[in-house]
């Protein structure tokens, strides 16, 4: 269902503005293997798209302009370094057309939060410009451009729950049972640089200070099929957590507050500093979020559910 349907993409450019919604991701399992010859770590991950969304609107123009509001406005550069602009340009180049569009980003995914917000925006830009321009590119070609923009971008086009391998760019959908999982997302003050967290993990492993790598996500795959939050809670694991905690020791207080609030499990999201908590149901998630907000250990605790669809026009 969240797949980028070859048939529902327009062959002709859109007339009116195109609006695309894209989710944030968490990793239900994030196994980090050794560093490869190309400098990337080999990953074995389970991606899960959750209901915290950025929204990108695109309309016809005779140049490329990006504006934004929301999370990170005033902080995030809107020039060629922004992943929205990089994605629009990559798609234009691949299809030999001018990168002309007026783009506006409404951002709810926190910056450098371990929720892949930048990758989400790149995925949204690919889908929006594809629709605006009517590129006629196939799914394979779009996935290839997505992978060139960042390891998480192909998943954010796909959405749902999926296995990620390679450096994360090779994604395989995990058939959803239709079950919705309920999460509380504790947003931190300030971000963490993903490369810095990988570097810290490498240092800790070299010094023998890191736990053994968690390896393949077999346990999570079994747990997902059981539709029981108490079972899923026991299977959530993240190799990057010790490194994120080492760089940001205060995250221990966030995890402790979620535990005290009755969450079934707490987990550092990706490279952090966002922490996510599994709840029994929507009402339990509301209770946990309220307790986390009252604890003063995070900037903002939000409820979310998953899986949700990847980047798509609304
Ligand atoms: P990941 O989990 O994929 O490592 P993250 O959630 O930790 O990502 P992001 O918010 O995706 O972090 O982005 C990290 C950096 O990417 C930002 O600090 C910023 O410098 C750069 N960046 C470029 N374009 C964007 C964008 N549209 N949104 C957010 N960050 C962007």
Interface ipTM: 0.94
Are the beta carbons of 91 and 53 closer than 8 angstroms? no
143 lines ligand 1 (CB under 6 A): no
Whole-prediction pTM value?
0.95
Domain-by-domain residue ranges, the chain?
Answer: 18-174+309-313, 181-305
Query: What pLDDT band is residue 13 in, cutting at 50, 70 and 90?
Result: confident
Which atom of ligand 1 is the closest one to the Cα of 105?
27
Are the beta carbons of 4 and 157 closer than 8 angstroms? yes
Q: How far is the CA of 80 from the centre of ligand 1 (A)?
A: 14
112 lines ligand 1 (CB under 6 A): yes
- For residues 264-278, average pLDDT: 98
Q: Is the pLDDT of residue 6 over 80?
A: no
Which CATH architecture is the domain 181-305 placed in? 2-Layer Sandwich (3.30)
pLDDT of residue 8: 55
On whether the 18-174+309-313 domain is CATH 3.40.190.10, my answer is: no
Is 114 marked as binding a ligand? yes
* pLDDT digits 0-9 by tens, 119-165: 999 999 999 999 999 998 988 899 999 999 999 999 999 999 999 99
169 lines ligand 1 (CB under 6 A): no
- CA 99 to the chain's CA centroid: 25
* pLDDT digits 0-9 by tens, 25-68: 999 999 999 999 999 999 999 999 999 999 999 999 999 999 99
pLDDT of residue 138: 83
119 lines ligand 1 (CB under 6 A): yes
As a whole number, the mean pLDDT across the chain is 95
Q: How far is the CA of 111 from the centre of ligand 1 (A)?
A: 6
Which atom of ligand 1 is the closest one to the Cα of 269?
2
């Amino acid at each position: 269902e969240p797949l980028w349907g070859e048939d529902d993409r327009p062959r002709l450019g859109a007339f009116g503005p195109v609006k695309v919604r894209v989710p944030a991701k968490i990793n239900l399992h994030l196994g980090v293997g050794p560093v490869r010859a190309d400098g990337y770590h080999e990953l074995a991950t389970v991606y899960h798209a959750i209901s915290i969304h950025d929204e990108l609107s695109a309309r016809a123009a005779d140049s490329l302009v990006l504006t934004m509001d929301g999370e990170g406005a005033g902080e995030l550069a809107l020039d060629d370094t922004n992943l929205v602009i990089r994605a629009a340009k990559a798609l234009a180049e691949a299809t030999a057309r001018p990168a002309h569009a007026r783009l506006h980003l409404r951002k709810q995914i926190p910056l450098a939060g371990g929720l892949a917000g930048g990758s989400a925006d790149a995925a949204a830009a690919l889908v929006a410009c594809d629709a605006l321009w009517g590129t006629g590119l196939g799914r394979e070609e779009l996935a290839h451009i997505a992978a060139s923009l960042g390891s998480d971008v192909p998943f954010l086009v796909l959405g749902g729950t999926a296995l990620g391998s390679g450096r994360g760019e090779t994604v395989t959908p995990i058939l959803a049972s239709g079950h919705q999982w309920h999460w509380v997302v504790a947003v931190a003050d300030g971000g963490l640089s993903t490369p810095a967290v990988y570097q810290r993990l490498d240092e800790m492993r070299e010094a023998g200070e890191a736990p053994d790598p968690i390896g393949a996500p077999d346990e999570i795959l079994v747990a997902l099929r059981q539709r029981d939050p108490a079972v899923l809670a026991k299977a959530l694991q993240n190799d990057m957590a010790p490194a994120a905690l080492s760089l940001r020791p205060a995250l221990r207080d966030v995890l402790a507050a979620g535990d005290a609030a009755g969450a079934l499990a707490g987990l550092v999201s990706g490279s952090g500093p966002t922490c996510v908590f599994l709840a029994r149901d929507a009402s339990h998630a509301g209770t946990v979020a309220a307790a986390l907000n009252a604890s003063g250990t995070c900037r903002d605790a939000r409820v979310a559910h998953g899986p949700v669809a990847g980047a798509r026009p609304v």
